[in-house]
Amino acid sequence: MSAGVDLSQFYETFFDEADELLADMEQILLNVDIDHPDPDQLNAIFRAAHSIKGGAGTFGCFGQLADTTHLLENLLDALRQGELALRKDMIDLFLETKDVLTEQVSAYRNSQEPDQQAYERICAQLRELALEHKGDAPAAAAAAVTGHAASSMPAAASETGLEPGAGLEPGEAVGSNASGDLPLRVHIERIQPNDAQALLTEMGLLGEVLHHEQGAGTLSVWLRTTCSTDDLEAVCCFIVNADQVRVAPEPVPGAALSAAVHAETVSPAPEAVMAAAEPAATAAEAPVRPGPIEAPAKSAGDAARKPAKEGGTLRVGVEKVDQIINLVGELVITQAMLVQTASTLDPVEHDRLLNGIEQLERNARDLQESVMSIRMMPMDYVFSRFPRVVRESASKLGKQIRLTTRGQATELDKSLIERIIDPLTHLVRNSLDHGIETPEKRIAAGKDPEGHLTLSAQHSGGQIIIEVSDDGAGLNRERILNKAMQQGFPVNENTPDDELWQLIFAPGFSTAEKVTDISGRGVGMDVVRRNIQGMGGHIQLSSRAGKGTTTRIVLPLTLAILDGMTVQAGEEIFILPLSNVSESIQPTAEQLHSISEGDKVLHVRGEYLPLIALHEVFDVQGAQTEVTRSIAVILQAEESRFALLVDHLVGQQQVVVKNLEANYRKIPGISAATILGDGSVALIVDVFALLRMTRNKAA
């Protein structure tokens, strides 16, 4: 390759797309029918391995990744050619290989060397599988045993890690070794002169240019190369669109043979533009990707590669998106200040100014919503990891479990979607381990031996509802009641189910008869609830004996903006999340009732609600102390409701959330802060923490 060419600029793109291809490979492996594998699925798995191997070989410095994918690719090629019969143990090995490849990509991304022992172990297993079937598939097995993708080879042919004819699609040309020794003709239409020269140089780096012809907006290059047609098309797609390129075997016109072009230019990795199936995005980047590219098939029904729309997508680092969101937030705050200042102006005298401010307010709101939508990611980013969890856990537990997912396209803010993974994983493992019964127990109970686990997501107003449901045995009321009474909880035989189920979230509360490596140890449902509350959400539990259990998580769509109710206590302004506000009333003396130690409750339509004074919680001076002259805001936190006493209701508004810990320190009962239109700071109340603080005080 030409001196001075730096391929490191393409590493990050390669790593991102390798991660996406590996995630896609895992999903297809989990869904493939072992007895009757779909050829399109096998082709799609092969393409993923083929693309990663090609990219790793081209860069020349990711030796373990190239070697491992080379061995895997040859076995996959033998499978799709019908030379090997698919078995469950093969799927297990391929999934394990995927895990090793993921670790290798991660190591190379962090400029580290991958685990040598894991590399040697998985390669030995792949070779052993190839040797086992050597008699049935000599060509593929021999290639798998003896072939290694070179980690650093000078020739472009070696950089791809391909032997002539190894690992290619049926009928795919390999330059001079295919189609009767015909070279490959790369024909590009609607190309600019400068782009034509750049592509001609690229072709010279990938093989021997035998002849080229350049016309008005066209370029044809006859190339002798060991690169595949996919590799050549991928390189071309760095400069032109996929629909402008055609690659096919064709003889050189006449006897003309051109010398290879040696001009120096940047030579992108052929597979660095390999596309990944949507919507898997890395944790470090927003879910957008470069175009135009060719994408390996995502499913059996979409195995063929299709060009992406021109300019349809763009990969942008999430830190840039966050910076834009912060700037838009500042713009919204400035706009609110202008609105407050303009409220004192004469509307007749300053008509044009006020109209302009109204237009600015509308534009700022539209801009804010548009920018926030960039951070939204589909729940499939989370759901896609659970088929593997269910498959492996069910195998360990000796259970038959079918996973169903709904609402994968439902979107959630990126910051929340990453934080919800751990709580959901705990809930899923809980259902697999303690919820769904073994086939024998299910048959004895008159059920289908195969258990069902459902993950679903849907929008409801400004929130997202995520549910984990199983059709297992349900919660054991008697066992929970006995455990609760042993631990001193105020329960009895008449305690309602819904109230009893909430004890599951108490710290240290567990009714498991034994600890397993599936649901884990030491991390209980109280941690799950605390994590959910930390995201501004709440969790609900419902169960029916013998029918199953459903856990519902309710979250805001984003933590960057908040619809809030502005309230006042003394001279201080506080923001209450509007999603927690049920109603507001002015208490009467008849509604007030005293209980032990001077605490009061408010009687509202047959319900006795704990009464909490906001000024007492935060020690606000000069606040209204007479209850009947205050306003009671009824708040909902999880399954509990309580009344919060404030002096005045100021109004409702959308506020920009600012992290208080990063700018000051953590304040109990406060989740964040915001800047009001007059430039003052208002604290955002953590309703769940407020309820916990009150309970702890009562205890």
**pLDDT, tens digit, 9 for 90 and up, residues 614-623:** 999 999 999 9
Indicate the range of 129-133, 214-218, 261-265 predicted with least confidence.
261-265
Greatest pairwise CA separation for the chain in angstroms:
106
Distances from the Cα of 169 to the Cαs of 14, 46, 166, 177, in angstroms?
22, 9, 9, 14
Q: Which pLDDT does position 165 carry in this prediction? A: 36
Confirm if 265 and 201 have CB atoms less than 8 A apart: yes
What is the band of 691 on the pLDDT scale with cuts at 50, 70, 90? confident
The closest of 526, 516, 613 to 574, measured between CA atoms, is 613
Place of tokens 């004192």: 344
Residue 652: is its pLDDT beyond 60? yes
Q: Which pLDDT does position 511 carry in this prediction? A: 64
Q: Which pLDDT does position 119 carry in this prediction? A: 92
Average pLDDT estimate for 342-357: 89
Q: Does an H or E element contain 379, and which?
A: none
Residue 271: is its pLDDT beyond 60? no
Q: Which pLDDT does position 97 carry in this prediction? A: 93
- Residue 164 in 3-state DSSP? coil
Q: What ranges do the domains of the chain cover?
A: 1-167, 171-278, 318-375, 384-556, 561-698
Chain mean position to CA 674: 28
For the chain, what is the total number of helices (H) and then of strands (E)?
Answer: 22, 24
Q: Which pLDDT does position 7 carry in this prediction? A: 63
Which of 49-58, 183-192, 234-243, 256-265 has the highest mean predicted lDDT (pLDDT)? 183-192
Average pLDDT estimate for 332-344: 86
What is the band of 699 on the pLDDT scale with cuts at 50, 70, 90? low
The backbone torsions φ and ψ at residue 277, rounded to the nearest 5 degrees and listed phi first, read -70, 135
CA distance 149 to 163: 9
The closest of 344, 379, 333, 366 to 656, measured between CA atoms, is 333
Indicate the range of 243-247, 284-288, 487-491 predicted with least confidence.
284-288
Taking residue 678's Cβ as centre, other Cβ atoms within 10 Å add up to 10
Sorted by sequence, the CB contacts under 8 Å of residue 188 that are 6+ apart come out as: 196, 199, 218, 219, 220, 236, 240, 244, 245, 246
CA distance 466 to 407: 9
CA distance 507 to 528: 10
What is the band of 139 on the pLDDT scale with cuts at 50, 70, 90? very low
Q: Which pLDDT does position 210 carry in this prediction? A: 87
Residue 267: is its pLDDT beyond 60? no
DSSP labels for 171-217? T---GGGSTTTPPEEEEEES--HHHHHHHHHHHHHHSEEEEEEEETT
- Say how many Å lie between the first and final Cα of the chain, rounded: 74
Indicate the range of 4-13, 265-274, 368-377, 527-536 predicted with least confidence.
265-274
CATH of domain 561-698: 2.40.50.180
Average pLDDT estimate for 290-294: 35
Average pLDDT estimate for 640-663: 86
Q: Which pLDDT does position 483 carry in this prediction? A: 86
Q: Which pLDDT does position 594 carry in this prediction? A: 86
What rounded mean pLDDT belongs to the chain? 78
Give the tens place of pLDDT for each residue, 157-182.
Answer: 333 333 333 333 333 333 333 344 68
Q: Which pLDDT does position 148 carry in this prediction? A: 38
What is the band of 258 on the pLDDT scale with cuts at 50, 70, 90? very low
CA atoms within a 13 Å half-sphere pointing along the CA-CB vector of 349: 5
CATH of domain 1-167: 1.20.120.160
Confirm if 105 and 19 have CB atoms less than 8 A apart: yes
CA distance 654 to 638: 23
Distances from the Cα of 61 to the Cαs of 161, 207, 264, in angstroms?
12, 20, 21
CA distance 238 to 292: 8
Q: Which two tokens stand for residue 537?
A: 């959400």
Burial 122-133 (b: 16+ CB within 10 A, else e): bbeebbebbeeb
What is the band of 572 on the pLDDT scale with cuts at 50, 70, 90? very high
CA distance 265 to 201: 7
Sorted by sequence, the CB contacts under 8 Å of residue 253 that are 6+ apart come out as: 211, 213
Q: Which pLDDT does position 514 carry in this prediction? A: 54
Confirm if 577 and 564 have CB atoms less than 8 A apart: yes
Give the tens place of pLDDT for each residue, 431-478.
Answer: 999 899 999 999 999 999 999 999 999 988 678 999 999 999 998 888
**CA atoms 623, 625, 627, 633: torsion sign:** positive
Question: Domain 384-556 is classified in which CATH homologous superfamily?
Answer: Histidine kinase-like ATPase, C-terminal domain (3.30.565.10)
Share of the chain above pLDDT 70, in %: 80
Residue 587: is its pLDDT beyond 90? yes
Share of the chain above pLDDT 90, in %: 28
Residue 295: is its pLDDT beyond 50? no
Q: Which pLDDT does position 695 carry in this prediction? A: 67
Q: Does an H or E element contain 391, and which?
A: helix 386-397
Alpha-helical segments (H) within 535-667: 614-617, 660-663
Indicate the range of 32-36, 225-229, 428-432, 443-447 predicted with least confidence.
225-229
Average pLDDT estimate for 224-251: 82
Give the tens place of pLDDT for each residue, 11-28.
Answer: 888 888 888 899 989 989
Taking residue 246's Cβ as centre, other Cβ atoms within 10 Å add up to 15
Neighbour order of strands in the sheet with 670-675: 648-656, 561-569, 572-577, 681-685, 670-675
Q: Which pLDDT does position 310 carry in this prediction? A: 43
The closest of 7, 23, 10 to 296, measured between CA atoms, is 23
CA distance 432 to 53: 36
More confident of the two residues 231 and 191 = 191
Sorted by sequence, the CB contacts under 8 Å of residue 344 that are 6+ apart come out as: none
Confirm if 594 and 543 have CB atoms less than 8 A apart: no
**CA atoms 553, 557, 562, 567: torsion sign:** negative
More confident of the two residues 302 and 65 = 65
Give the tens place of pLDDT for each residue, 393-427.
Answer: 898 899 999 999 999 999 988 888 888 998 999 99
What is the band of 145 on the pLDDT scale with cuts at 50, 70, 90? very low
pTM over 0.75: no
Average pLDDT estimate for 78-83: 87
Residue 38: is its pLDDT beyond 80? yes
